[in-house]
Chains A and B, each alone.
Chain A
C-alpha cells in the first residue's frame, strides 16, 4: 500500500477528482479530470518522497509538537494507533459528503456513467501525518506551482474552451429535448406561479422593486433605450409602410373597438372631453393673444389655400348651397320661421343702431360702386336683364301699371295742387342748380346725352316693334290735337314752312346733298326690300317644289364652313397677281 493512500477507504484526492469515464462521459470533464489527476499523482509522488500529504490536521499537529516527527512517522507510517484511527474515522464520517451527479448524463444509461463524484471538504478531510516543516514547505510550493500551471492551462487552452462550449451546447440541446426536464421546469414554474398567486403582495413588491430598479437604470442611461426604441420604431414603421393594408385593417379594428367601447360607455368620454375642453378653454381665455395669432394664422392658411384652389371652393359652395336650398325648400315653414326670426333680429338691431347702419350702408355702397365701376360690362348686362324683366312684367300687367301710375301721379298731383308755392320754389331751385351745372359742364352734358341717345337708339333699332306703337300713339295724339285746333295749326304750319323755305334758299348745297342722299337711301331701301323678299322666296319656292314632289318640308339648311361664310363679309376683290400667289391650281 502506498503511503499516500488513505487508510480508512476514503477516496484519495485522485479518487475525489475522478469523473466517470464510460461512454457518454463528458470529454471536457474527462480531460480536466485527467489533468487534475496527473497533478494529483505528481503531488502524491512528492508526498511519497517526503512522507504524506499536508493537511490542515498536519498543521494543527505541527504546532503541538514540532519535535516529534521523522522517526515516529517512519515507524508508524502505514498505521495509526487504534484510538487515533477510530477518532479520525469518526471525524471523517461526521464530515458531510456532497454528492453530485456527473456533469453530463450517460449517453446510453451506462452504469459507469452513473458513478458519483465524491468531494470531501473539511479541515478533517485527511488523515494527519507529521512531517518536517521544510519538506512540507517544499511540497506545498511544488503543489501550488503544479496546480497553478494546470489552472493556467485550462484557462488559456482554446481546445479546452472549445470542448467545453461544444459539450455545453450539446448538453443544453439534449436537455431541451428531455421531457422529464421540461415537466420538471413546468412543475417548478407552476409551483412558483401558485406561490406568487398566493402571495400577490410579495409579487407586487418584487415587481415594483425590479421595475423601479430597471427604470432608474434606464433613466440613468437612456441612450441604449433610445437606440432600442429608435430601432424598434424604425423597423415597425418600415413594416407598416410596406404593408399598409394590414395597418389599415389594424387601425380600423382598433378604432372600431375603441369606438364601440366609447359608445357603450360614453360617460368617461364625456367627462374626459369636458375636462380637456375646460382646460383648453381656460388656457385660451388666459392667453387670448396667442389664440388670436393662432386663429389668424390658421385663417390665413385657409384663405390662401382657398384662393389657390378656387374651383374646389366653387364646387363646394355650389354643392353646399344646393343642399341647403333643397333642405329649405322641403321645409318651407322652418325657412319662413328662420327668415322671420333673423330679419326681426336684424331689423331690431338696425333700429337700435342707426349710426352703424349709416356707416354700413356707406361702406357697402362704396364697395358696390367701386365694383360696378371696375366691371361695367357686368353692370350693363345686369341692368339690361333687370330692365327686360321689368319691361316684360309691365307689359304683362298693363292694368297694374296703369293703376300704379295713377295712384302715384294722383298723390303727387294732389300734393302739388295743395302746395303750388312750394312746388314752384322747388322747381326753381332744382332748375337753377341744374342749369348752373349744365352751363359749367357743357362737354359732360353732351357726352351724357350722346351716350344715352346712342344706347336708346340701339335699343330702338333692335326692337322696332316697341317704337312703332309709341310713335303712332304720339303722332295720333299730335294729329288729334292739331285737328281739334285748326286755328293754332295754320299759323304754326306757315311759320315752320317759311323757316324751312328760308333755310333751303340759304343752303342750296345742303338741299342737293339731302335729295341725293334721300335718293340713294331710297334705292338702298328698295334694293334691301327686294333682296329680303327674294331670300324669303327662295325658301318658299323650295317648299312648293317639295310639296309638288310630295316630299317632307326641309328643315334648317346646314351652315357653310366658316371659311365660306367669311367670304360673305369681305369683298374678295384681289389682284390677279395675288390670286396667282394664293391659287392652288
Chain B
C-alpha cells in the first residue's frame, strides 16, 4: 500500500539526510577551496601553515591574508550557503536531492531575514545539544525549534509515496511488544 506524500510535512529522517548531504557538500567545498589556495600558494613556495618562514617579505602578508581569508570563508560559508538557498528556492542541494522544501507557514516566499532567523534557530538547536531538533518528532507540523523561531516548516516537494505497509507492520510489531502477556491480539494486529 502506498500513500502520496507530496505537500505533507517532511520528517526527521529525510531532513537529517538532507542536512548530512549539505554538510558533506560544505566540508568538501571548504576542503577544495583550502586545497586550491594552499596549492596555489605552494607554487610560490609559501606554506600557509608556516607563514613565519617567509617573514619580512611581502609573501608573509600574503600568507597571513590567505589564512585569515580562509578562516573567514570557513566560518561564513555555511550560513551563506543555507541562507542563500533557503531564500532563493527554499531548497538547499541536500533538500533538493531528498525532495523537500522549506516554506513559510503562511505560504508566502522566503525572505532573507526569515532565513537568517532560521539559521540562528539552527545554532540554538546545536547549543541545546539537538533538543530543538527533537521537537520535530513530537510536533504535529514536524517543526523543530528553528522552524518555530522562523515561522517555517518543511514539506515533501516531490510526487512520491510512502510505504504504509511497512509502517503498519512496524506499528503492529510495536503494539505486540507493548501488549501485556496473556491479552488477546486485536484484529488489526492479526492482520
Contact A553 B156 (CB under 8 A): no
Chain A 524-582 residues near chain B, CB threshold 8 A: 527-528, 530-543, 545-547, 553, 557-561, 563-569, 571-574, 579, 582
Considering the chains assembled together, what is the distance between the CA atoms of A546 and B138 in angstroms?
A: 8
Q: Judge whether B88 is part of the interface by a CB distance below 8 angstroms.
A: yes
Contact A568 B6 (CB under 8 A): yes
Q: Judge whether A583 is part of the interface by a CB distance below 8 angstroms.
A: yes
Q: Judge whether A585 is part of the interface by a CB distance below 8 angstroms.
A: yes
Contact B155 A540 (CB under 8 A): no
Residues of the A chain whose Cβ atoms lie less than 8 Å from the Cβ of B132 = none
Chain B 162-179 residues near chain A, CB threshold 8 A: 162-163, 166-167, 170-171, 174-175, 178
Contact B12 A542 (CB under 8 A): yes
Q: Judge whether B184 is part of the interface by a CB distance below 8 angstroms.
A: no
Inter-chain contact total with CB atoms closer than 8 Å = 137
Q: Judge whether B59 is part of the interface by a CB distance below 8 angstroms.
A: no
Question: Which residue in chain B gives the minimum CB-CB distance to A528?
Answer: B160
The minimal Cβ–Cβ distance linking A213 to chain B, given in whole angstroms, is 97
- Which of A528, A546, A568, A584 is close to B157, meaning CB atoms less than 8 Å apart? A568
Considering the chains assembled together, what is the distance between the CA atoms of A266 and B73 in angstroms?
A: 112
The minimal Cβ–Cβ distance linking B177 to chain A, given in whole angstroms, is 8
Q: Judge whether B109 is part of the interface by a CB distance below 8 angstroms.
A: yes
The minimal Cβ–Cβ distance linking B6 to chain A, given in whole angstroms, is 5
Contact A558 B141 (CB under 8 A): yes
Question: Which residue in chain A gives the minimum CB-CB distance to B175?
Answer: A553
Contact A540 B99 (CB under 8 A): no
Tell me whether A565 and B167 are in contact in the complex, defined as CB-CB below 8 angstroms, given that A542-B137, A582-B108, A583-B111 are known contacts: no
Tell me whether A582 and B109 are in contact in the complex, defined as CB-CB below 8 angstroms, given that A537-B13, A541-B137 are known contacts: yes
Considering the chains assembled together, what is the distance between the CA atoms of A545 and B12 in angstroms?
A: 11
Contact A539 B162 (CB under 8 A): yes
The minimal Cβ–Cβ distance linking B25 to chain A, given in whole angstroms, is 16
> Which range holds the interface residue count of chain B?
35 or more
Interface code B3-18, partner A: CB below 8 Å = 1, 0 otherwise? 0011111111110010
Considering the chains assembled together, what is the distance between the CA atoms of A563 and B107 in angstroms?
A: 5
Residues of the A chain whose Cβ atoms lie less than 8 Å from the Cβ of B155 = 560, 564-565, 567-568
Give the one of A531, A557, A568 with max B CB within 10 A: A568
Residues of the A chain whose Cβ atoms lie less than 8 Å from the Cβ of B17 = 530, 534
Considering the chains assembled together, what is the distance between the CA atoms of A527 and B138 in angstroms?
A: 28
> Which range holds the interface residue count of chain A?
35 or more
Q: Judge whether B185 is part of the interface by a CB distance below 8 angstroms.
A: no
Contact B156 A574 (CB under 8 A): no
Chain B 111-144 residues near chain A, CB threshold 8 A: 111, 113-114, 134, 137-138, 140-142
The secondary structure that dominates the B interface is: mixed
Residues of the A chain whose Cβ atoms lie less than 8 Å from the Cβ of B178 = 547
Contact A567 B97 (CB under 8 A): no
Residues of the B chain whose Cβ atoms lie less than 8 Å from the Cβ of A532 = 160-163
Residues of the A chain whose Cβ atoms lie less than 8 Å from the Cβ of B146 = none
Contact B162 A568 (CB under 8 A): no
Contact A541 B13 (CB under 8 A): yes
Residues of the B chain whose Cβ atoms lie less than 8 Å from the Cβ of A545 = 134, 137-138
Contact B174 A553 (CB under 8 A): yes
Contact B109 A572 (CB under 8 A): yes
Residues of the B chain whose Cβ atoms lie less than 8 Å from the Cβ of A561 = 105, 107
Q: Judge whether B98 is part of the interface by a CB distance below 8 angstroms.
A: yes
Question: Which residue in chain A gives the minimum CB-CB distance to B2?
Answer: A532
Tell me whether A567 and B111 are in contact in the complex, defined as CB-CB below 8 angstroms, given that A539-B167, A543-B167, A573-B89 are known contacts: no
Residues of the A chain whose Cβ atoms lie less than 8 Å from the Cβ of B158 = 528, 531
Residues of the B chain whose Cβ atoms lie less than 8 Å from the Cβ of A583 = 108-109, 111
Residues of the A chain whose Cβ atoms lie less than 8 Å from the Cβ of B12 = 538, 541-542
Residues of the B chain whose Cβ atoms lie less than 8 Å from the Cβ of A558 = 140-141
Contact B11 A538 (CB under 8 A): yes
Contact A543 B174 (CB under 8 A): yes
- Which of A534, A543, A553, A557 is close to B9, meaning CB atoms less than 8 Å apart? A557
Considering the chains assembled together, what is the distance between the CA atoms of A418 and B141 in angstroms?
A: 73
Give the one of B103, B161, B175 with max A CB within 10 A: B103
Residues of the B chain whose Cβ atoms lie less than 8 Å from the Cβ of A568 = 6-7, 101, 103, 155-157
The minimal Cβ–Cβ distance linking A566 to chain B, given in whole angstroms, is 7
The minimal Cβ–Cβ distance linking A463 to chain B, given in whole angstroms, is 12
Chain B 1-47 residues near chain A, CB threshold 8 A: 5-14, 17
- Which of B89, B110, B142 is close to A571, meaning CB atoms less than 8 Å apart? B89
Q: Judge whether B153 is part of the interface by a CB distance below 8 angstroms.
A: yes
Contact A560 B14 (CB under 8 A): no
Residues of the B chain whose Cβ atoms lie less than 8 Å from the Cβ of A582 = 108-109
The minimal Cβ–Cβ distance linking B87 to chain A, given in whole angstroms, is 8
Contact A567 B90 (CB under 8 A): yes
Residues of the B chain whose Cβ atoms lie less than 8 Å from the Cβ of A584 = 108
Considering the chains assembled together, what is the distance between the CA atoms of A574 and B14 in angstroms?
A: 25
Contact A535 B107 (CB under 8 A): no
Residues of the A chain whose Cβ atoms lie less than 8 Å from the Cβ of B111 = 579, 583, 585
Considering the chains assembled together, what is the distance between the CA atoms of A540 and B14 in angstroms?
A: 11
Contact A536 B162 (CB under 8 A): yes
Contact A535 B11 (CB under 8 A): yes
Considering the chains assembled together, what is the distance between the CA atoms of A465 and B125 in angstroms?
A: 45
The minimal Cβ–Cβ distance linking A547 to chain B, given in whole angstroms, is 5
Residues of the A chain whose Cβ atoms lie less than 8 Å from the Cβ of B9 = 557, 560
Question: Which residue in chain B gives the minimum CB-CB distance to A579?
Answer: B109
The minimal Cβ–Cβ distance linking B172 to chain A, given in whole angstroms, is 10
Considering the chains assembled together, what is the distance between the CA atoms of A547 and B179 in angstroms?
A: 12
Considering the chains assembled together, what is the distance between the CA atoms of A63 and B142 in angstroms?
A: 152
Tell me whether A569 and B90 are in contact in the complex, defined as CB-CB below 8 angstroms, given that A541-B12, A543-B170, A560-B155 are known contacts: no
Considering the chains assembled together, what is the distance between the CA atoms of A348 and B33 in angstroms?
A: 96
Contact A560 B88 (CB under 8 A): no
Having A535-B161, A568-B157, one finds 10 other A-B pairs with CB under 8 Å, namely A527-B99, A531-B158, A535-B160, A537-B13, A539-B167, A547-B178, A553-B171, A553-B174, A568-B6, A568-B101
List the 8 closest A-B pairs by CB distance, nearest first: A538-B11, A563-B107, A565-B7, A537-B13, A568-B7, A534-B14, A545-B137, A567-B103
Q: List 14 A-B contacts (CB under 8 A).
A: A528-B160, A534-B17, A535-B156, A536-B166, A538-B142, A542-B137, A543-B167, A558-B140, A560-B155, A567-B90, A567-B101, A569-B6, A571-B89, A582-B109
